A and B are shown apart, each in its own frame.
Chain A
Amino acid sequence: MTEENVIEIHNLQKTYDKGKIKALNGIDLEIKKGEFISIMGPSGSGKSTLLNMIGALDRAEEGTIKVAGIDLMKTRDLSEFRSQEIGFVFQMHNLVPNLSVLENVEIPMYETRVKSEEMRRRALELLEAVGLKDKADKNPTKLSGGERQRVAIARALVNHPSIILADEPTGALDSKTGDVILNLLKSLHSKEQVTLVMVTHEPYVAEMADRILHVLDGKINNSS
């Protein structure tokens, strides 16, 4: 593993339904620290599965995958890795409905040794960065779709992760709101010097990235 590669994947394979569905069929991929990568590809091609592998939400059957220096095939308990190194932003339903906006941003810190005042301070700082400090005590159900995604972004950054994984973060938003979210992600990416891997369907969105990966039938299509 080279110094600046934060993600290194070789021949990664993942099947579902006892091998009937080949979701990932030999992925080879290297991503440098601080890179902004966008992933495109038809529905069902394996984009989300790839993101979930990088974020250690599931394990692959074959191949190797190293993220932030950690061998995900060999490490037993990956919850700490997830909390320390990864920030997820999903398409929707990112937030826990019964918790306040502030508490939603705090939850990744529960598994750390951060004290509760510090948790609060850090969460408010990030809510301010996404322009939602005044909504901290609101329930997420009272927020608009765009606001919810901003809260999810704040939460993704709260533990200073090395990688943000965003799976169609604007997919459920209108294009105007979507642009706000993209600009926010992009500016935070450069400011926090975090690696950003984003799945998107929109070519113009993908163009904002340093590099575009095309996924087809569980493989990375290098023709582009």
Chain B
Amino acid sequence: MIKNPFRNRTRATLAIIGIAIGIATIVALGMVTGGLQSSTQSTLKAGSAEITVTKIGSGNFGSSGGVLDESLVTDLKNTNGVKDTAGILRVNSNVSTSSGGSGFGSMGGFLVNGIDSSKLALVGIDSVNGTIFTNGSSNEIIIGKTVAQNLNKTVGSTIDIYGTEFEVTGIFESGNFIYDTGAFTSLSTLQNLTNNTGKVSYIQVKVNDNANASQVSKTIQDERPNDLSATTAVDQANRINQSLGMIDTASWAISLLAIVIGGVGVINTMIMSVFERTREIGVLKAVGWKDRRILGMILGESIILTLVAAVVGIILGIVAVEIIFKLFITSQSFEAVLTMDTLLKAFGVALLVGIVGGLYPAYRASRLAPTEALRYE
């Protein structure tokens, strides 16, 4: 019985391809949403700073130029409601690929952050495998676990940054994707090395336990409206959540489209199949099969068809996302994540298409008059 939906190869294949494309889109969008979700969740880690201050007009994390004066780090600390601040200088390592990295280095290196070693908690790093770098010009560095994996580095290895050898003293896992694909070293060392003495790219601000982050952020912003831009992690998360919401809506719209188009394809496939098997259905009725069993048989075949399409679509979606990420998105942004939710949704949509598309043909088959069916050659 299982083989029945595939008796007409071409028709079954066409129906499967149609539904599979819809499912693949759902899975691909789901993986992107899943990835964005897990990266926002990690930025909201407890203990880390709530507010990011950058030079106005520069990118979110100050990665696109626009440095701030280091004196601001202390100034901001004196703002009402602020518990602690940390200045961070961020540069691209431009590390050479000779170190045997698996293609990671060729993507333009990783981000090196200079920070006061006592402020690491503010960026979500509270434990290090090994030891933390010392402040000053000791040329020590701690690297994120992703960097360690990609560049094949362990504690004690050396890394060449701006022509200077750094010793890896520790490996950390902050849970924040951006940090885990980067490294931290002494602020002053990095400032000297990159001719940025007295400069930082952005400032992380941690507010007092009883203070409202949005309010503090607003205060900072209002004090230097032409100079600084302050965003809270919540703001950022909200912004990302908004785009997540949009992707989610798109995903549901595509699901709906897949249900409609796939449903029509399945109806067509199954009606043709029932039509071709009129005689066979007559025989089944003659041997005593109840209408319900015939309905169940055709409906079951329809569902098998769409579940096969779901499996094909899921594989297609994963492969497509992997390829797109490999080609266009460097590992510094974020990873695609396939969640259980996405898988359930894919199978759910397929099941729905199978039921919706199979119901009418199955009903028709169950209501065939046996004598008519048996006259049919």
A-to-B contact residues, CB < 8 Å = 49, 52, 55, 57-58, 77, 79-84, 86, 88, 90, 93-99, 107-108, 110-111, 155, 159
Which 4 pairs across A and B sit closest by C-beta, in order of nearness? A83-B288, A108-B287, A82-B288, A57-B370
Given A58-B371, A111-B290, A93 and B285 touching (CB < 8 A)? no
Task: State the Cβ distance, B36 to closest chain A Cβ, in Å.
Answer: 47
B291 adjacent to chain A (CB < 8 Å): yes
Known contacts A52-B371, A93-B377, A98-B3; can you find 7 more A-B pairs with CB under 8 A?
Answer: A52-B370, A83-B287, A83-B289, A90-B374, A99-B1, A110-B289, A111-B293
Cβ contact within 8 Å between B279 and A93? yes
Between-chain CB contacts (< 8 Å), 10 pairs: A55-B286, A57-B285, A57-B370, A83-B288, A88-B287, A93-B283, A96-B280, A96-B284, A98-B1, A110-B289
Task: State the Cβ distance, B372 to closest chain A Cβ, in Å.
Answer: 9
A97 to B3, CA, bound (A): 11
Task: State the Cβ distance, B367 to closest chain A Cβ, in Å.
Answer: 13
- Tell me which residues from 33 to 78 in chain B have a Cβ below 8 Å from any Cβ of chain A: none
A55 to B1, CA, bound (A): 26
List the A side residues contacting B290 at CB < 8 Å: 77, 79-80, 111
**When the two chains form the complex, which single residue of A49, A94, A98, A108 contacts B288, counting CB atoms closer than 8 Å?**
A108
List the B side residues contacting A96 at CB < 8 Å: 280, 283-284
Per-position 1/0 for B277-314, Cβ under 8 A of A: 00110011111111101000000000000000000000
**When the two chains form the complex, which single residue of B1, B284, B369, B377 contacts A58, counting CB atoms closer than 8 Å?**
B369
Chain A, Cβ-Cβ closest to B3: A98
B242 adjacent to chain A (CB < 8 Å): no
Chain B, Cβ-Cβ closest to A95: B283
A58 to B368, CA, bound (A): 11
A155 to B286, CA, bound (A): 11
Cβ contact within 8 Å between A111 and B4? no
List the B side residues contacting A77 at CB < 8 Å: 290
List the B side residues contacting A84 at CB < 8 Å: 288
**When the two chains form the complex, which single residue of A79, A82, A107, A155 contacts B291, counting CB atoms closer than 8 Å?**
A79
